[in-house]
A = this chain, B = another copy of it.
Amino acid sequence: MQVTSEQPLDDHVLERRFTLGGIPGILWTPASASASAPVPLILLGHPPLGLRTMYPRLVARALHSAAEGFATATIELPGSGDRPRWPAVDQARADLRRAIEGGDAVSDETVDALVLPLVDKAVPEWQNALDALQSLPDIGGPFGYSGGVISIGVRLAAVEPRIEAACLYAGSFVPRSVFEEARRVTVPLHVLLQWDDEGNDRQAALDLFDAFGSEEKSLHANTGGHTGVPQFAADAAVQFFGRHLR
């Protein structure tokens, strides 16, 4: 892990850009974090639109989390941003767009081709990032995961024992096999669903919530459309991590 730049965002947060095996990433730590007072870390997931596009929303979540004493970090997804294009996933995305525009049902095959390769490749990368971040003196634990492609969050919560709590955003296509993975998730979960998001399959989101094996799971459904998650819902997500990562 190579830190490529380091800058204070305000008096309270330090932003470090890094690369890890060629994958760009960003780490935000509260100024209070130090080797003698290491802080918990939340991995910030995001949709595959590239870190540059997602930066404003990510940094808002990072500042909000830092105010509650949490470090946050994110890495670029495979095929996105400055990483090499990934023709197979580009093709699946084009197929998906064509199906939606044509008013056709989106087939299970299209969803699998779009999502599963991304999950298979991204999850080990997030685990590697966790290895590297965990070794920093000002990062302690425990660790959480928040947001992004929900199927990545499900897999990571199911296979990575260091993830002790996860906040997942319903809203992307979910392969059938991911419902089976969801049954193996046992960590506390906080699931956000934008109820009136027309591009979202609400029933699939409810079915996925039902499938999770976690003893503690909460679904917070709100109005406001796809990108209109209310501020109080973001606050509730941070409160969730406050209960579980301290």
Which residues of A are interface residues toward B (Cβ below 8 A)? 195, 206, 209-210, 214-223, 230, 232-233, 236, 239-240, 243
Query: Is B195 a contact of A217 with CB atoms below 8 Å?
Result: yes
Within the assembled complex, what's the spacing in Å between the Cα atoms of A221 and B236?
Answer: 13
Decide if A218 touches B209 in the complex (CB within 8 Å): no
B218 touches A221 (CB 8 A): yes
Interchain nearest-CB distance for A210 vs B (Å): 7
Q: Determine whether the beta carbon of A216 is less than 8 Å from that of B223.
A: yes
Selected contact of A220 from candidates B215, B220, B223, CB within 8 Å: B220
Interchain nearest-CB distance for A35 vs B (Å) = 32
Q: Of all chain B residues, which has the CB nearest A216?
A: B223
CB distance from A238 to the nearest CB of B (A): 13
Q: Tell me if B219 and A219 are in contact (CB < 8 A).
A: yes
- In Å, the complex CA distance between A195 and B219 comes to 9
Tell me the minimal C-beta distance from A116 to chain B in angstroms.
28
- From B206, B233, B243, give the contact of A218 (CB < 8 A): B233
Closest residue on chain B to residue A240 by CB atoms = B232
A192–chain B nearest beta-carbon distance, Å: 10
| Neighbouring B residues of A223 by C-beta, 8 Å | 214-218
